[in-house]
Amino acid sequence: MAGGVPDPTGRTSQVSADHTAPGEAGTLPRHPTVADHIVSRLFSWGVHRYFGYPGDGINGLTSALQRTNERAQFVQVRHEETAGFAASAHVKYGGGPLGCALVTSGPGAIHLLNGLYDAKLDHQPVVALVGHTAVTAEGGGYYQEVDLLALYKDVAAAFLAQLDHPAQVRHLVDRACRTALARRTVTALVLPSDLQDEPAVLDPPHAHGYYQTSNVPSSTPTVPPEADLRRAAEVLRGGERVAMLVGQGALGAQDEVREIAHRLGAGVATALLGFTVVDHREPWVTGAIGLLGTRPSWQLMTGCDRLLIVGSNMPYSEFYPPPGQARGVQIDVDGTQLGLRYPTEVNLTGDAAPTLRALLRELGPGPGPTAWRAEITEATTAWRRVQRDLAEQPADPVNPQLLFSTLSERLPEDVMLAVDCGTATAWYARHVLVRPGMLASLSGTLLSMGGAMPYALGAKFANPDRPLVALIGDGAMQMNGVNELITVAKYWRSWADPRFVVLVLNNRDLAFVSWEQRSSEGTPMFPDSQQLPDIGYHQWAQVLGLHGELVDSPDQVPQIWERALAADRPVVINALVDPAELMLPPHFTAEQARKTAAAVLRGDTDWAGIIRRGLPATLASYRPRRRER
């Protein structure tokens, strides 16, 4: 042990000169700093990649990362918001158990918040490291001094702390990581700039007021009690028309979900975050649920007499069965999320895969082929046929649905999909038949525009040997996509598979907002608010040394996808699509129709397009279908 070193408060601390704490990876520098200790301890929890942007508030930490000799990587994005999104996506796409964002004080910390809220609302474990004013200057109105503990108290409510002494590093890092993993949420450490360069205290004294903590992750709940499983089986066994709703909590339980669906003769609807749980080519998979969902999913929920919810907390209550219609069972690893959306009779707290396996043992043999399964298959097959017809209808100049249906047929088996919020989400949900082995995600609960490019980056750093396709509207592309293409240009040569395809739906309109305004407010599209500049996105890609493709005719679509998916570098597809393409919810109410018509009558600037595209879409999607019992 080295001699006593004064800390900022005048106390002295014992400092190790050359030591690696138990469980920590690699060898620390001979005279490690607090920042070195933080990086090393985080490494022991599985954090080996940091998304962020530098600044003097975190100089100590970036210097520590440099001293790791590339054992840990700092990924420099264009904006701190991207760092938060990418850290969340890095976990979603399997890049590690924890995501980590590293940003500087003041403006950097403020910019980070939106991406962190995405992680919090989608239950992703992310640790935020935020630089701060030097301890000696705190409270003096220093440059960039912001009350970060107040600012972060909501997004990091599970655990938020400021480092005030080198001896705190071990227990603060351990608690931040353990809490993020156990509660699947965001935690944050506020790190004053001067403390980062203080000598590390690797072994806190065995004394009053100090902690000796563990960096071994906690176990998680697995299977509910047998009595509860028997009750759940009794409820489900009595059903003749069983519906399942699966979400991201069922990821990793693909085989179990398929088997229990067959055992119950159930149809399966999916929340957007749970898309890769099932094979969307199967006729009993009705697809997305909710406002952007499919009509078969709506019919599944309105016709069922039993409902099994696995790992989903989809919040649109009107898309669940009417209360009293169906008896319900729900499975979730977090007991606080059970029974929040539907009055379920049995709530099973447990991990999806082992809980479903245990439930299968209690259920016994299945009913075999049923009229309900046949009805689901008929509805799903008819819906998909209608969607293909809609995608092939002429538009001005290109039907955006055609781009998605054509892509679906050509997707590589190991593709990763990153989807933005807006019309791109709707066409993805209805046309892309995700298959086992693929990875796909989006900002599922925050529904933030601008999430797809950061997600694409997080996915690609998690799996540099897999192809990626990002599906983005022009509003989101202008928000941060054009800037993050610079990040793509900076790093793509380091990826084992350089395929990184960005589809931009260029309709010069915030189309989703325009349709919401028409259908919910009954007012015309407001050009000052919703119209966007027409940008040559493909030309910007070419300036950066990437490939760029312009699509302004439907005849180009198949060849564009084939070239992009075979390219030797990232590709941006600038697709000029029809802003009047109609997005009809699976249950389009008379009130929504009335308000949309009112917007047209009040002089909507695209009234002709609404009539041109709306009538065939309405007729095709809402053909009456006889239901038999």
pLDDT digits (tens, 9 = 90+) for 404-453: 999 999 999 999 999 999 999 999 999 999 998 999 999 999 999 999 99
Closest Cα to residue 573, out of 622, 624, 603, 538?
A: 538
Confidence category of residue 584, pLDDT binned at 50, 70, 90: confident
User: Which token pair is 612?
Assistant: 């041109």
User: Of 221-225, 340-344, 458-462, 573-577, where does mean pLDDT reach its minimum?
Assistant: 221-225
- pLDDT of amino acid 23: 37
Judge whether 20 and 27 are in contact, CB under 8 Å.
yes
Residues 6+ apart with CB under 8 A from 8: 135, 136, 194, 195, 198
Residues 184-201 have a mean pLDDT of 97
pLDDT digits (tens, 9 = 90+) for 347-404: 999 999 999 999 999 998 887 778 999 999 999 999 999 999 999 999 999 999 999 9
Confidence category of residue 605, pLDDT binned at 50, 70, 90: low
DSSP 477: I
Angle subtended by helix axes 482-491 and 452-462, to nearest 10: 10
Judge whether 14 and 7 are in contact, CB under 8 Å.
no
Judge whether 310 and 236 are in contact, CB under 8 Å.
no
**Given a cut of 90, is residue 580 above it in pLDDT?**
no
Confidence category of residue 554, pLDDT binned at 50, 70, 90: very high
Residues 135-153 have a mean pLDDT of 92
- pLDDT of amino acid 4: 32
- pLDDT of amino acid 22: 35
Upper half-sphere CA count for residue 174 (Cβ side, 13 Å): 17
pLDDT digits (tens, 9 = 90+) for 539-551: 999 999 999 999 9
The average confidence (pLDDT) of the chain is 89
pLDDT digits (tens, 9 = 90+) for 337-359: 999 999 999 999 999 999 999 99
What top-level class would CATH report for the domain 34-197? Answer: alpha beta
User: Using CA atoms, how far apart are residues 181 and 124, in angstroms rounded to an integer?
Assistant: 8
Closest Cα to residue 481, out of 439, 537, 409?
A: 537
User: Using CA atoms, how far apart are residues 331 and 436, in angstroms rounded to an integer?
Assistant: 22
Confidence category of residue 589, pLDDT binned at 50, 70, 90: low
Q: What percentage of the chain carries pLDDT values higher than 70?
A: 87
pTM: 0.90
pLDDT digits (tens, 9 = 90+) for 111-136: 999 999 999 999 999 999 999 999 99
User: Using CA atoms, how far apart are residues 538 and 444, in angstroms rounded to an integer?
Assistant: 28
User: Using CA atoms, how far apart are residues 291 and 621, in angstroms rounded to an integer?
Assistant: 14
**Given a cut of 80, is residue 491 above it in pLDDT?**
yes
What top-level class would CATH report for the domain 393-622? Answer: alpha beta
Closest Cα to residue 330, out of 267, 227, 266, 245?
A: 245
Encode 275-300: b = buried (16+ Cβ within 10 Å), e = exposed.
Answer: bbbbbbebbbbbbbbbbbbbbbbbbb
Say how many Å lie between the first and final Cα of the chain, rounded. Answer: 80
Residues 285-292 have a mean pLDDT of 94
Positions of CATH 3.40.50.1220 in the chain: 226-377
- pLDDT of amino acid 12: 32
Angle at 36 between CA 34 and CA 42, to 5 degrees: 100
Positions of CATH 3.40.50.970 in the chain: 34-197, 393-622
Would you identify the CATH topology of the domain 226-377? Rossmann fold (3.40.50)
